[in-house]
Amino acid sequence: MSYLYLAIAIIAEVIATSALKASNEFTNLIPSVIVIIGYGVSFYFMMLVLRTLPLGITYAIWSGVGIVFVAIIGTFLYKQTPDLPAIIGMGLIISGVVIIHLFSKNITH
């Protein structure tokens, strides 16, 4: 269940973060509400994950995967295409998440 909760937390965080730009500094109501609800849902499900996974591992996966997904959404929604160094960096982030998942003794496999 922990990974399902973590996936929900990541999706909610990505939605909230992606809506930040559309909120126009919280002057647009609908995107602002999406930001607030999205972060609330994200933190709630991340709290559930922390029952079984260590904080550092949970946060590394949550933030790392979130960064990559937000960058992908930013490319399509806001036409903010990352350059080659950014793409390489995000590849390293994903590599780190995979290494944590495959080899860390702090998580159950």
State the pLDDT at residue 104.
85
How would you write the pLDDT of the chain (109 residues) with one tens digit per residue?
999 999 999 999 999 999 999 999 999 999 999 999 999 999 999 999 999 999 989 999 999 999 999 999 999 999 999 999 999 999 999 999 899 888 888 776 5
Tens of pLDDT, residue by residue over 64-89, are 999 999 999 999 999 999 999 999 99
Phi then psi dihedrals of residue 79, to 5 deg: 55, 40
Q: Which amino acid is at 60?
A: A
The overall average pLDDT reported for the chain is 94
What CA–CA distance (Å, rounded) separates 14 from 6?
Answer: 12
Q: Which amino acid is at 40?
A: G
Q: Is the CB of residue 38 less than 8 Å from the CB of residue 15?
A: yes
Q: Is the CB of residue 19 less than 8 Å from the CB of residue 31?
A: yes
What CA–CA distance (Å, rounded) separates 68 from 80?
Answer: 13
Report the predicted TM-score, pTM, of the whole model to 2 decimal places: 0.89
- The three-state secondary structure class of 100 is helix
State the pLDDT at residue 108.
65
Q: Is the CB of residue 97 less than 8 Å from the CB of residue 62?
A: no
